[in-house]
Amino acid sequence: MLTKRAGPDPQAEGDLQPDCARDRTGPDHGGARHLGSDWLPVGEELSIRARVLEAGGPDLWERFMAELREEHLGVPAGPSPAGRTVRQRLHDAYLAASRAAPAPVTPTPSGGSSL
């Protein structure tokens, strides 16, 4: 997460700084997303990322937060221990779930449906 800090000039844009205390809430939010997928009618392809993050536990969350800090703030995360970034792992899981999901039914202009 980022905190906007005012600069010396009130007319200038503020400076965005990482807020490490807020970074620790990431796993809490991930758990909430996973609970939502348990109770709401969503397909596996929509909930797979939350499930992967939950299964990876705190270590995966910390790695994901480090990669996000590197991407957005330039704070080096170092090489990924698994050889792939967390984002790549989440994307691969999404693609696998999407291939396994049935084709969605889309409405047609005549009011019927088509596959």
Average pLDDT, integer, range 77-99: 92
The pLDDT, as a whole number, for residue 70 is 95
Q: Assess if residue 11 is contained within a domain.
A: no
Structural domain including 73 reads 17-102
Average pLDDT, integer, range 81-97: 93
Q: Assess if residue 92 is contained within a domain.
A: yes
* Residue in 28, 32, 18, 5 with CA at minimum distance from that of residue 77: 18
Total Cβ atoms within 10 A of residue 48: 22
Beta strands in the chain (DSSP E): 2-5, 15-18, 106-107, 113-114
Q: Quick check: 24 pLDDT over 70?
A: no
Q: Which residue has the tokens 């905190």?
A: 3
* Number of structural domains in the chain: 1
Q: Assess if residue 88 is contained within a domain.
A: yes
